[in-house]
Amino acid sequence: MAPTLKASESGLARIQRAKNEKGWRVGDGEWLVEASKILEPEKNWFLGGPYADGCSQTTWNRFLRGQAIGTAAFQAFCQILGLNWQEVVERNPIDTGSPDSQQTANSRTDWGEAPDVSIFYGRTGELAELKQWVVDDKCRLVAIYGTGGIGKTSLAAKFAQQIQNEFEFVIWRSLSNAPTRAQLLASLLGFLSDRQPPEPNVSHMLDFLRTHRTLVILDGVETLLAAGQPAGKYRDEYQDYAELFKIAAQSDHKSCFLLTGTEKSKEIALWEGKTSPVRSFKLKGLETTAAWEILRERELVEEAEWANLIDRYGGHPLALRIVSATIEEVFANKASDFLRETTFLGEIREVLAQQLQRLSELEKKVMYQLALARVPVSRTGLRESISSCVSGEELTEALKSLGWRSLIETLTEDGEALFTLLPVVRKYVINQNS
């Protein structure tokens, strides 16, 4: 069992401060190269890895969250931050025996591929509402859904971190590789059971949810859902997930499943309600002050233009990260020069392409009409602009489906529902059709 170390509470604050002072950017991995040079100085190290033994993005994330990591990596990370490791280490280190699981004061946690959210802005309203649902109202199934890159995974990670002590167990699993239900259950029960894991079936899972208050976070549920037909249906080979979510939602237990995804599943849409133990949270762009912080990270100049920039991208955090990097690299940090150009999409395209390729033909038509309209449009207005061979029922189905896919925004004006697109989505749709 390899010895491990973790930071004390005050040590963690010093680590965060030192990291911010270094000005390292999220995702560039410079720290891993630096730490690898200390751990294995005889080798040449490059960005992108692989890095020295015991040194990885996951280890770094654990270190920043104050979780136990290998002694050598802990000491190297402190060194690159200019800190004396003995001054930041927790006096009674916990030896977890497993690199991915950890016992904290009140809960056992397995953060899987959860991202590092030490840099996270705003969302206080969203975090408070989620806390109300999960901690106070004891909801059993909560889904955070929203457009690609809007910040679902980050919000779920921040939230789970903040409330972890309310649960005996916290476990995070990414569904990006589309595990079968049996694989997922085996992975969950493998961590949750102390002894030989039981058969990976839903009744064993339910036993656990009943006896131990557990928070299970499943990130990216859209991988389980079918493309090319109305939103919310499972792909053929993932139909059995419906039973797992039904049990999570409707059985009597004391745990919570927190899901994130670009699409809402049919079950959640059916069961959710203001007082129901099943709720869904549609995530929108960042508020201006939080979006401002993203731009500040890049030291852009001309603050007077930033509000325009945030508005043009609807506070979409991934878009703002991409455009601020582009402004720094290509526009000498000047937002005004960038804003004179047409709306730049860069890597956002790939995120949106993945989401839009899932649409049915009618949904694509609706998106195009909404993009052309530029202003919010009513259902009647849409019906007039789309060919007459589309029935009212088909159009209703398509609008509902696009809402579940977080691709259209709905507002009400004079008692009438109007539909529109986020600015980045509009730009993408126009580009695709021109």
Instruction: Figure out which of the listed residues 59, 262, 324, 360 binds ligand ATP, where binding follows CB under 6 A.
Output: 262
In degrees and rounded to multiples of 5, residue 423 shows phi and psi of -55, -45
Q: Which is nearer to ligand ATP, 279 or 405 (CB)?
A: 405
Instruction: Figure out which of the listed residues 140, 152, 253, 426 binds ligand ATP, where binding follows CB under 6 A.
Output: 152
For residue 100, with 0-12 CB atoms within 10 Å meaning exposed, 13-18 middle and 19 or more buried, which class applies? middle
Site track for Mg ion across 7-46, x = CB under 5 A: ----------------------------------------
Q: Does 314 bind ligand ATP (CB under 6 A)?
A: no
Q: Which is nearer to ligand ATP, 89 or 310 (CB)?
A: 310
Name the residue whose CB lies closest to ligand ATP.
Answer: 151
Q: Does 317 bind ligand ATP (CB under 6 A)?
A: yes
Min CB(208)–ligand ATP separation in Å: 27
Contacted entry of Mg ion, ligand ATP, none for residue 404, CB cut-off 5 to 8 Å set by kind: none
Name the residue whose CB lies closest to Mg ion.
Answer: 153
Q: Which is nearer to ligand ATP, 70 or 148 (CB)?
A: 148
Among candidate residues 279, 261, 305, the one with its CA nearest the CA of residue 150:
261
Q: Does 318 bind ligand ATP (CB under 6 A)?
A: yes
Site track for ligand ATP across 339-358, x = CB under 6 A: ------------x-------
Q: Which of the stretches 4-12, 152-160, 271-279, 410-418 binds ligand ATP when contact is defined by CB under 6 A? A: 152-160
Q: Does 179 bind ligand ATP (CB under 6 A)?
A: no
Q: Does 280 bind ligand ATP (CB under 6 A)?
A: no
Instruction: Figure out which of the listed residues 31, 60, 120, 404 binds ligand ATP, where binding follows CB under 6 A.
Output: 120
Q: How many residues bind Mg ion (CB under 5 A)?
A: 1
Q: Does 285 bind ligand ATP (CB under 6 A)?
A: no
Q: Does 404 bind ligand ATP (CB under 6 A)?
A: no
Q: Does 123 bind ligand ATP (CB under 6 A)?
A: yes
Q: Does 407 bind ligand ATP (CB under 6 A)?
A: no
Q: Does 151 bind ligand ATP (CB under 6 A)?
A: yes
What's the CA gap between 225 and 234, in Å, rounded?
4
Min CB(302)–ligand ATP separation in Å: 21
Q: Which of the stretches 44-52, 144-152, 190-198, 305-313 binds ligand ATP when contact is defined by CB under 6 A? A: 144-152
Min CB(335)–Mg ion separation in Å: 27
Footprint on residues 133-192 left by Mg ion (CB under 5 A) = 153
**3-class SS letters over the chain:** CCCEECECHHHHHHHHHHHHHHCCCCCCCHHHHHHHHHHCCCCCCCCCCCCCCCCCHHHHHHHHCCCCEEHHHHHHHHHHCCCCHHHHECCCCCCCCCCCCEECCCCEEECCCCCCCCCCCCCHHHHHHHHHHHHHCCCCEEEEECCCCCCHHHHHHHHHHHHHHHCCEEEEEECCCCCCHHHHHHHHHHHHCCCCCCCCCHHHHHHHHHHCCEEEEEECHHHHECCCCCCCCECHHHCCHHHHHHHHHHCCCCCEEEEEECCCCHHHHHHCCCCCCEEEEECCCCCHHHHHHHHHHCCCECHHHHHHHHHHCCCCHHHHHHHHHHHHHHCCCEHHHHHHCCCCCCCHHHHHHHHHCCCCHHHHHHHHHHHHHCCCEEHHHHHHHCCCCCCHHHHHHHHHHHHHCCCCEEEEECCEEEEECCHHHHHHHHHHHC
Look at the chain and count its residues: 434
Min CB(355)–Mg ion separation in Å: 11
What's the CA gap between 389 and 400, in Å, rounded?
19
Beta-carbon contacts of residue 212 (< 8 Å; ≥ 6 apart): 168, 169, 192, 254, 255
Single-letter amino acid, residue 133: W
Q: Does 322 bind ligand ATP (CB under 6 A)?
A: no
Q: Which is nearer to ligand ATP, 73 or 290 (CB)?
A: 290
Q: Does 148 bind ligand ATP (CB under 6 A)?
A: yes
Determine how many CB atoms are found less than 10 A away from the CB of residue 71: 16
Q: Does 217 bind ligand ATP (CB under 6 A)?
A: no
What's the CA gap between 127 and 278, in Å, rounded?
17
Site track for ligand ATP across 3-42, x = CB under 6 A: -----------------------x----------------
Contacted entry of ligand ATP, Mg ion, none for residue 232, CB cut-off 5 to 8 Å set by kind: none
Report the interface residues with ligand ATP, using CB under 6 A: 26, 119-123, 146, 148-154, 220, 262, 286, 290, 294, 317-318, 321, 351
Report the interface residues with Mg ion, using CB under 5 A: 153
